[in-house]
A and B are shown apart, each in its own frame.
Chain A
């Protein structure tokens, strides 16, 4: 049960002079239940890549398999795929349209042809999962704050009960508090339901804390793919492509260079704290 990308290529603009090779020979295996961070600079192809995962874009070369089936085979049910691989776009609050929050979240499950009762149950559960209070359920989605709108939009995808949840820059444009709340909520959701989560971001800081695997994209290719510690060890190369490792990595590196016996592979503040205390003999 997984998503497999096999030599996936994608070219925007067909065969005109303006053609852009957005994805170059991508090979990835995304097993069930992983928490993945997909990182890349603006224009690195990460948004293009995630649109391939639920069949919104068709690769110009290569194949994509979901649970062993080619998703672009003629008889493949794409609608079902889209309910299984939920994609939350960047600024998802811009897609809200219903008169109240609850009906908007019902849109997805209703499109799946579920009964009214099942639809409403799922919508309710999804809204609870993103931590929205009941008081907002029957308000117009346009009266909510930015962070609340985003939760509603994420709930709109969750209500389809996807097995894989892909979030494209879910924290873009939010303040630090809103950002942490959303990310914590996603981490909690991942823990409770065990679904696969792919978090797209350009901020190492955001993802380092949560994910177990990081995929770094650069100019349409996969540059690094591995556990956060492994990826951040390449922090100098990451800088060259306009990304940065989390600040702790730099601090630990500097401490190490100045002679303190600390490990340099800490990626979160908690880990760094442990390392430093250990080095000072105060564990």
Chain B
């Protein structure tokens, strides 16, 4: 029942994008998002669309997986479009009762819709092609300069990877406890909201206890192996830029320059 939830929606296949260094993908995603807000003309959006389409093609991930991420934001998308459509002052195109659709509103609404959906699909390309663990690795390495400002970069990255690692374990545990309580006649489905909330107690208490126990065990196991934070810690597979990563940075720089050029000259 709970197994159906997927988090860290990595799609396993072999592609150029999959092989890229996670740092490249992180930087590229950020650049792509920024570029969406840099360009303001149709030409710019066409450029972004082409760039995105090429990336999706290269990633070998079926398009329907990209669109899956859109489901979560359909509501936000709708609200944005509706508000921009009706509430932007300007030259009236159509008026219905007290509502007016303006030319500027229409433009803005379409622009926002395009921006938001590109943003989501763009970040999906990253999460679909990068395992959660290499993503945290990449983040740790990228954020290393922040150490100067005393940001505990390694610790944050470690916490993220532990959290990601434990999601499936805790889901399995939830499933098990739920079944055990159902076997004792518990009912998680029927009843009103208060009754349902009360029914969660026999599930949540054992789950929290088990989470704390696991956390304790893990901390003990890490300390037993002399873990003491990020200082002087080396990696078995350190991230290293390969030539394909340099090429990717080149392509990215070209795309970004193009976007800026479009903004200035068109």
Contact = CB atoms under 8 A, between A and B. Distances in A.
Contact of B205 (A51, A54, A89, A97): A97
A56 B184 contact: no
Contacts of B210: 94
A142 B212 CA distance: 13
Nearest to A91: B176
B62 interface: no
A89 B210 CA distance: 15
B170 to A, nearest CB: 13
Contacts of A160: 184-185
B180 interface: yes
Interface stretch (A33-41, A80-88, A251-259, A270-278): A80-88
B206 A112 contact: no
Contact of B202 (A79, A89, A97): A97
Interface residues of B, number: 17
B185 A95 contact: no
Contacts of B183: 54, 56, 82, 86-87, 89, 157
Contacts of B185: 79, 82-83, 107-108, 111-112, 160
Given A56-B179, A89-B176, A97 B184 contact: no
Interface string A118-137: 00000000000000000000
A222 interface: no
Interface in A146-176: 156-157, 160
Nearest to A113: B185
Contacts of A97: 201-202, 205-206
A197 interface: no
A92 B180 contact: yes
Nearest to B186: A111
Interface of B is mostly: helix
A96 interface: yes
Interface in B20-47: none
A95 B181 contact: yes
B172 interface: no
B209 A142 contact: yes
Given A79-B187, A83-B185, A94-B210, A107 B202 contact: yes
A96 B185 CA distance: 14
A280 to B, nearest CB: 50
A97 B209 CA distance: 9
A278 to B, nearest CB: 46
Interface residues of A, number: 22
B249 to A, nearest CB: 35
Contact of A89 (B179, B186, B187, B201): B179
A94 B187 contact: no
B10 to A, nearest CB: 14
B184 A94 contact: no
Interface string A51-66: 1001010000000000
Interface in A7-34: none
Contacts of A79: 185, 187
Contacts of B205: 97
A56 B181 contact: no
B173 to A, nearest CB: 8
Contacts of B201: 97
Contacts of A89: 176, 179-180, 183
Contacts of A157: 183-184
B163 to A, nearest CB: 21
B182 interface: yes
Nearest to A78: B182
Given A82-B182, A89-B176, A89-B180, A95 B206 contact: yes
A111 B186 CA distance: 6
B159 to A, nearest CB: 25
A221 B184 CA distance: 28
A96 B184 contact: no
B3 to A, nearest CB: 9
A94 B182 contact: no
Most A-side CB within 10 Å, residue of B176, B177, B183: B183
19 contacts: A79-B185, A82-B185, A87-B183, A89-B176, A89-B183, A92-B180, A94-B210, A95-B181, A95-B202, A95-B206, A96-B206, A97-B201, A107-B202, A108-B184, A108-B185, A111-B184, A111-B185, A111-B186, A157-B184
Counting from the closest, the 8 A-B pairs by CB-CB distance are A111-B185, A97-B205, A95-B180, A108-B184, A87-B183, A89-B180, A97-B202, A97-B206
Given A89-B183, A107-B202, A156-B184, 18 more contacts: A51-B179, A79-B185, A82-B182, A82-B183, A89-B176, A94-B177, A94-B206, A94-B210, A95-B180, A95-B181, A95-B202, A97-B202, A107-B185, A108-B185, A112-B185, A142-B209, A157-B184, A160-B184
